[in-house]
Structure 1
Amino acid sequence: MRTSIHKPVDNPKLFKKQLLYWSQQYREIIYLDSNDYPQVYSSYDCVVAVDAFTSVKTDFHNAFEDLKQYQQISKDWLFGYLSYDLKNNTESLSSTNFDGLHFPDLFFFQPKKLFLLKGNQLEIKYLNFCDDEVEMDFRKITTTPDIEENLEEKLIVQQRISKKEYINKVSNAIEHIQRGDIYELNFCMEFFAEHAIINPIEKFSLLNEISQPPFATFFKNDKHFLLSATPERYLRKDGDRIISQPIKGTAKRFTDSVKDLDSRNNLASDPKERSENIMITDLVRNDLSKTAQKGSVEVTELCGIYSFLQVHQMITTIISKIENQYAAVDVIKTTFPMGSMTGAPKIAAMKIIEELEETKRGLYSGAVGYFKPDGDFDFNVVIRSILYNQERKYVSFSVGSAITSLSIPEKEYEECLLKARAMRKVLGDLV
């Protein structure tokens, strides 16, 4: 059983940082930070869960069924991730491309210690609750000093696909579209560094500071790390309501306010960006309908423009109401992977992705989040993220864009470089 204790927090911004640093002593950590970004659908400003009491780790075989059983039996808070390659669990698909990271396909854990922050109110929920332990931890957290900046060597970040190869592959994707094989394809490429030694918490702090997205994530499972500055929500369940918010459409930010407004307005009216967003909106509507009450799927905002520190994004919000016969994991299984990271039609697009891309996606373009004891959940989309296997000394991040019949390969390449900029800067590959 979990028992809750509530405490006021004088300085929430400082407390979040102290909580993150304090958590580093544990083998399993998940830190979720909204960075005070204004959101319609939000439960907490920050969530931190540490120290696994139980966990489930598996490859894609029967992964959703394993997760469903784990969630229904535990009936507790669960935190973890779903890798993109869980697609192989639901469709006749495979993933044979290069994998330098070697993360499990699925990992979730039931934390012993959980912290939920909203405004200046903190809720602490421990398993096997002990007042003395909570008070001792709280004192340690609030007296945790800043980490010292460690000026590591700059990493040499390499590109898995050259510009020439990228343009050829995107041209190939456009040929598929012109033949009618698909309507849209999300094509991604990897940047990586070998023999890499980094300080994950420092790199995450830098990435989060220069991006400040609504779904920032620091995740640790022993030697596996995710440092994410993603702006995208995959799926949220709130009672019988399901919310999906796919992103399709990106534009550069400018320090000049006039240029920045022009960039935002151009994104809003760009026919290519709108068409790719609307195609994925239709795909998500169809996915949600598989578990929805009849007539309940609704687009509440189409092609809304949202500004983040690095880029402007085009975001659509789709909601549905879940039929009583379906469990929480059923909604995830029937919508995964998220349409914004595949293309349409989804299965045909994923087959072509496997042919054209050279890296196994793994956790990139998967999802990280949590289940509540009642089955409600919230998951992001793993983009704008650095992945690190500390044991193999391998650092990786990938970026991609949506290819449509209107795509110009050189412009798609420039969009990828724009999305890669924050991660390259954090890793010391850009000044």
Structure 2
Amino acid sequence: MHAATFAIESEDFLAKALWWADQFETACLLHSNSFDDPYATLNSLLAVGIRHEFIANGDNTFSEIQAFQTKHPQEWMFGFFGYDLKKETENLPTNLPDHLAFPDAYFFIPETILTFEQGKLTIQSVQKPDDIFESIVKANPDFSSVKLDRPFQKRMTKAGYMQAFEALKEHIRRGDIYEVNLCQEFFQEECNIHPLSAYWELNRVSPMPFSTFFKMHQHYILSASPERFVARRGDILLSQPIKGTAKRGQNMEEDQQIIRSLQNDPKEQAENVMIVDLVRNDLTRSAKPGSVAAERKPQVHTFPQVHQLISTITCEIDPEIPALDAIKNVFPPGSMTGAPKVSAMKLCDRYEASKRGVYSGAVGYFSPNGDFDFNVVIRTLLYNKKSGYLSFHTGGAITIDAIAEREYEECLVKAQGILNALGTEIE
């Protein structure tokens, strides 16, 4: 690999670099939008081109990815884990309809990696970095209008959602579960969009710390995720689940009132406590004994459309635990399942109307030094360019104190960034 560093104007050059990257069969941008994150090590990463790739097609995906990584040691590796790998982690296969046809997992080792930091760009590539830099400089981005001319359809009617909600609440009353995340899909068929432009507008409308553009041949992940699933920083393994959501106010005074209400809402606090306990239990399977800790109390983080409660749970990783086992031990993200985890996932499959696929899974990277960082795939458009199927999901936690109408409205609030970016609505 060759390497060189160049001075740049970050945002303008990022647009050019992403436009240049779209010519490749596979590309991945992980973009932090310069959020203040004590665990972040990079501002933005762009990986393009395929030196080697892994596409899941069996029943031993995590061990096969581990073998793929072992075969290519000390390399950057980018990819995703789909939610339905729960069939391997907990023997929970899904028979729900799948209209997007993503693989359960995909990873690639890129030809070129662009690392963006304040005012500078480092290019590592099998090609000459100077030639790549000149190609990017010449790029002329045209993020044309991505406004859709029709609304998204509902996979689940509002009446269907309410019926599923009440059925799940009855399971809570009976003691089958304490909490569950009910998700619903919104979709368009025969939709022709320019994915890169859709991502660029989504990131403009809803800039997030775990923003992602991922192109895998004819499949696209266009994500405005605010949530970190799991990361490794040296000997430390950490997860930052989100539980607790409130819409933004019309002004600063109203915003502050909403934040105080969110911090003191018993239902939101209960959601957070249950998920923190679940994640702590999951991390224990990979931790040195006694090292798991909820490092900080839930903190309110403010984003363009919502306020959210985020917790941080850390542990010292057992050095005998391989990286893929550490991820498998906490997968799928607890914030997207419920508690107890297995019972909640079984009930989600019973009451939801479509396969989650990549949604509720994770996208991210493994670095050459053994660290990794993966988001939770939420607030995300998924697109199959070949079939023209465009989709996104939203979800919310149901507890004993949850109110159906309020949770349904929360699902729509979470959809607003995507709808605003595409200039459309839900039918």
TM-score range relative to shorter protein = over 0.9
Matched residue of 1:292: which SS? coil
Give the whole-Å Cα distance in 2 for the aligned partners of 1:108 and 1:281: 29
Residues 1:412 and 2:377 are matched in the alignment? no
The answer to whether structure 1 residue 359 and structure 2 residue 358 are counterparts is no
Question: SS state of the match for residue 229, structure 1?
Answer: strand
SS state at 2:50 partner: strand
Deviations 1:44-66 (A, max 9, x none): 11100001110000135100010
Q: Quote the residue 1:330 is aligned against.
A: 325
- Larger displacement relative to structure 2 (56-65 or 403-412): 56-65
* Residues 1:359 and 1:151: Cα distance change in structure 2 (over 3 Å): closer
1:109 aligns with 2:108: yes
Letter in 2 for 1:213: M
Deviations 1:221-268 (CA, angstroms, capped at 9, x unpaired): 111001000000001101111110000010111231111111111111
1:46 equivalent among 44, 47, 50: 44
* 1:259 and 2:282 correspond: no
1:246-325 paired onto structure 2 within 5 Å: 246-325=241-320
Structure 1 segments (4+ residues) deviating >3 Å? 150-153
> Secondary structure of the equivalent of 1:347?
helix
CA distance in 2, matches of 1:210, 1:198: 17
Query: Which residue type is aligned with residue 407 of structure 1?
Result: A
| 1:151–1:248 Cα change, 3 Å | closer
Find the aligned partners of 1:341 and 1:301 in 2 and give their Cα distance: 21
TM-score (norm 1): 0.96
Would the aligned equivalents of 1:60 and 1:86 in 2 still touch at CA under 8 Å?
no
What is the aligned partner in structure 1 of residue 123 from structure 2? 124
3-state SS of 1:285 partner: helix
Letter in 2 for 1:120: G
Deviates more, 1:148-157 or 1:53-62: 148-157
Contact 1:16 1:46 in 2 (8 A): no
Alignment-derived partner of residue 170 in structure 1: 165
The corresponding residue for 1:100 is 99
User: Structure 2: which 5+ residue stretches go unaligned?
Assistant: none
TM-score for both structures, normalised by structure 2: 0.97
In structure 1, distance between residues paired with 2:146 and 2:401: 44
* 2:87 counterpart residue number: 88
- Aligned partner of 1:74 in structure 2 is 72
Q: Match for 2:94: what amino acid?
A: S
Partner residue, 1:62:
60
**Structure 1 runs not aligned, ≥5 long:** none
CA contact (8 A) 2:44 2:116 kept: yes
Residue-by-residue CA offset, 1:123-156 (whole Å, 9 max, x unaligned):
21113xx4xx321210121232231524665233
SS at match of 1:388: strand
Q: Deviations over 1:353-406 (max 9, x none)?
A: 100001100000100000012321000000000000011110000000000001
Matched ranges for 1:366-405 at <5 A:
366-405=361-400
| Residue 428 of structure 1: how far off its partner (Å) | 2.8
Q: Is contact 2:3–2:129 with CA below 8 Å preserved after alignment?
A: no
In 2, Cα distance between the equivalents of 1:153 and 1:36?
29
Confirm or deny: 8 A CA contact 1:60 1:106 kept in the other structure.
no
For the residues of structure 2 that align with 1:112 and 1:197, how far apart are their CA atoms? 29
Equivalent residue for 1:12, pick from 5, 10, 13:
10
Q: Equivalent pairs: percent with the same residue?
A: 41
Taking the aligned partners of 2:243 and 2:293, their CA distance within structure 1 comes to: 18
Q: Partners of 2:249 and 2:284 in 1: how far apart?
A: 39
Which residue, 24, 32, 35 being the options, matches 1:34? 32
Kindly provide the CA deviation profile for residues 251-296 of structure 1, in whole angstroms up to 9, marking residues without a partner as x: 1112311111111111111110011011000000000010101111
Number of residues of Structure 1 aligned to a counterpart in Structure 2: 425
In the superposition, relative to structure 1, how do residues 405 and 216 fare at CA in structure 2: closer, same or farther (>3 Å)?
A: same
The separation in 2 between residues aligned to 1:142 and 1:242, in whole angstroms, is: 38
Conservation of the 8 A alpha-carbon contact between 1:288 and 1:320: yes
Question: Is 2:241 aligned against 1:243?
Answer: no
Q: Given the superposition, is the C-alpha separation of residues 271 and 137 from structure 1 closer, same or farther in structure 2, using an over 3 Å criterion?
A: same
Taking the aligned partners of 2:221 and 2:143, their CA distance within structure 1 comes to 21
Mapped to 2, the partners of 1:71 and 1:62 lie a distance apart of 14
- Cα distance change on mapping 1:273 and 1:3 into 2, 3 Å: same
Deviation at 1:16, TM superposition (A): 1.2
State the superposition RMSD in angstroms.
1.3
For residue 6 of structure 1, report the CA deviation from its aligned partner. Answer: 1.9
Q: Which amino acid aligns with 1:35?
A: N
Q: Are the counterparts in 1 of residues 302 and 308 from structure 2 also a CA contact under 8 Å?
A: yes
What SS is found at the alignment partner of 1:359? Answer: coil
